[in-house]
Amino acid sequence: QKEVEQNSGPLSVPEGAIASLNCTYSDRGSQSFFWYRQYSGKSPELIMFIYSNGDKEDGRFTAQLNKASQYVSLLIRDSQPSDSATYLCAVNIPRNYGQNFVFGPGTRLSVLP
């Protein structure tokens, strides 16, 4: 089982709809969770982070964390064509060896005008 999993997509939604992106992780000790957006040909940029169970809202973005079910999601309300990008989920996994920050493979989102 991979440490961080995401559907590769593409996920297509019409303009103005809610886009829902999901991420699951395998290590129950994971403590912090991040969402990055990567436009084609560009580097990833951090858009949200969440540490506690529940929802965290920032503008049109809402991150949702459920540690019992080991998933984190990102909702994008009123989706715009400019939201079309690949969204990367990242998890900080506490461990005594190796690198703690693990990225998922990303989900490609396409918002259709």
Partner 1 sequence: SQTIHQWPATLVQPVGSPLSLECTVEGTSNPNLYWYRQAAGRGLQLLFYSVGIGQISSEVPQNLSASRPQDRQFILSSKKLLLSDSGFYLCAWSLGSQPQHFGDGTRLSIL
Q: Which residues in the 2-61 window bind partner 1 by CB under 8 A?
A: 31-32, 34, 41-46, 49
Nearer to partner 1, 3 or 71 (CB): 3
The answer to whether 103 contacts partner 1 (rule: CB under 8 A) is yes
DSSP string, 29-84: T--EEEEEEE-TTS--EEEEEE-SSEEEEETTEEEEEETTTTEEEEEESS--GGG-
Q: Which residues in the 60-79 window bind partner 1 by CB under 8 A?
A: none
CB atoms closer than 10 angstroms to residue 85: 21
Query: Could you list the residues that contact partner 1 (CB under 8 A)?
Result: 31-32, 34, 41-46, 49, 88, 90, 92, 94, 98-101, 103-106
